[in-house]
Structure 1
Amino acid sequence: MTDAVLETRGLSKTFLGFTAVDGVDLSVQRGHIHALIGPNGAGKTTLFNLLTRFLEPSAGEIRFDGTTVTALPPRQVARRGMVRSFQISAVFAGLSVLDNVRVALQRKLGLSLHFWRSVRVLDQINEQALAILDQVGLAELANEAAGALPYGRKRALELATTLAMDPVLMLLDEPTQGMGYEDVDRVTSLIKKISAGRTVLMVEHNMKVVASIADTLSVLQRGRLLATGSYQEVSANEEVIRAYLGGGRRGGTAA
């Protein structure tokens, strides 16, 4: 038996006659790291936007954690536990590292609108925020301004704020994009660490990252799902090889 936390059936999106996502049937198993790969323009980010309800599907169904969410607004999908990071680093640059995580915790705990309360009320979440920062290796930088962090550390802070929302499913959009070698290794290790007991769906171009941490890969080309399987299975698939390399090649890889 399978335990899919996220499923789509016939999911499609058309823009003025152009089909960006074309009948995608996707199944993400609970507790897995599932990587979504494909050439530029394959429809990966559009699919993410559909899943998180930033875009309205033209057709198809989205089921999350046993419930159909196809018609729900983005905020309700997020409250159910589907939490997303974006390609572009998105931290509150003027706040401290600790306060960035506190903001996310306030939202999760329902304290974000209680502006009339004493700041001492919010001090109760400091211990929890520091524990999350410790998970991503940022506890010693808790009082630093988030905007002053190196790029790789900012991405780690984004992972921390995502964790603060206590997600059922983490959607990571290009988490290692624009990073140097050391930062890629650090963030890859962090994703592996924080995924314990959680489910991750990630868009990622770096095939070394995908090969090292993904349990399952799904390959998109021109909006259609070409293949799903392990890295070994997908990298040996002739359709995938043609999509990446422009022609068949026995024994090739998807990288």
Structure 2
Amino acid sequence: MSDSTQTPSIILETRGLTKDFKGFTAIKDVNVQVQTGHIHALIGPNGAGKTTFFNLLTKFLTPTAGRIFYDGNDITRHRPAEIAQHGLIRSFQISAVFPHLSARENVRIALQRKLGVSYHFWRPIRVLDQLNEEAQHLLEQVGLGEFADTKAVELAYGRKRALEIATTIALKPRLMLLDEPTQGMSAEDVSTVTDLIRRVVEGRTVVMVEHNLNVVSTLADRITVLSRGEVLAEGDYDTVSTNPAVMEAYMGTTDAA
């Protein structure tokens, strides 16, 4: 009789990941495994190394030591464009939409890659008209259907973040990296964007850096806690939130990471 227990599929893994900056070690010997289909949160006090870790994953930085594996392949020395082509897509802490284009036009730019015209900006704009229906569908998914013709610069901050999530999804990511998706938002916008993320990432794998522990507790299947560049704890929310070392690192606070 065969064993019915299946080993979880690991889509992203770091082994001994280390980054030094002129004598300062920002990340030291970090080992993380991200399971396919999970939302994996990365938290830690200010200066814990979260942004450095994200920049290593997306190849904006080169590790001093260690390796990064994506979908079983060593991507440690790959360029950012290479990993994006394989479906590892990052959204940034600061909204990265085109401010003077409409919401629909922003999504169409992300969608046009599949037409093979990503860099053919001299072609007539009607070439992209075939993407309008799909763009509208994505906007409706993130609650922006009625704002399709609104310029991004005119959208409220929470809606700009929703638009960025729509453009990220348009790139058909296998793994989404969300960098502080609720930073700077009002409580109402935080709730809206949290619900949005839960809805649109269903069935996708996500790694997110997030300060708001209420968001993390709501969304994350697994949490890695960094402190001074090293893994302090890992597990589900109940496990890490009651860990004495984690509580000490946060100096007793429970509302922000």
TM-score (norm 2): 0.94
Residue 125 of structure 2 corresponds to 119
Residue 3 of structure 2 corresponds to none
CA distance in 1, matches of 2:8, 2:17: 20
Q: CA deviation at 1:111?
A: 1.5
TM-score (norm 1): 0.95
Q: CA deviation at 1:108?
A: 4.4
Note the aligned Cα RMSD (angstroms): 1.4
Q: CA deviation at 1:94?
A: 0.6
Q: CA deviation at 1:195?
A: 1.3
- Picking from 207, 215, 218, the partner of 2:213 is 207
Could you tell me which amino acid in structure 1 is paired with residue 88 of structure 2?
M
Q: Which runs of 5+ in 2 are unaligned?
A: 1-6
Could you tell me which amino acid in structure 2 is paired with residue 70 of structure 1?
T
Q: Per-residue CA shift, 1:200-229, capped at 9, x if unaligned? A: 100001000101111111000000011110
Q: Per-residue CA shift, 1:99-130, capped at 9, x if unaligned? A: 00011111344322223433222111111111
**SS state of the match for residue 143, structure 1?**
coil
CA distance in 2, matches of 1:220, 1:48: 12
> Counterparts of 1:96-175 in structure 2 under 5 Å?
96-175=102-181
CA distance in 1, matches of 2:254, 2:106: 40
Could you tell me which amino acid in structure 2 is paired with residue 234 of structure 1?
V
Contact 2:213 2:254 in 1 (8 A): no
CA distance in 2, matches of 1:208, 1:254: 7
CA distance in 2, matches of 1:67, 1:110: 26
**SS state of the match for residue 56, structure 2?**
helix
Residues 173 and 237 (structure 1), Cα distance of their counterparts in 2 relative to 1, 3 Å cut: same
Q: Per-residue CA shift, 1:1-60, capped at 9, x if unaligned? A: 121110000001000000001110011111011110000000000000000000000000
Q: CA deviation at 1:245?
A: 1.3
> Counterparts of 1:208-227 in structure 2 under 5 Å?
208-227=214-233
Contact 2:49 2:229 in 1 (8 A): yes
Aligned: 1:74 with 2:59? no
Aligned: 1:198 with 2:204? yes
**Count of paired positions:** 250
What is the percentage of aligned positions where both structures have the same residue? 61
Aligned: 1:237 with 2:243? yes
Q: Which runs of 5+ in 1 are unaligned?
A: 247-251
**SS state of the match for residue 232, structure 1?**
helix
- Picking from 189, 192, 197, the partner of 1:186 is 192
CA distance in 2, matches of 1:69, 1:47: 14
Residue 4 of structure 2 corresponds to none
Aligned: 1:45 with 2:51? yes
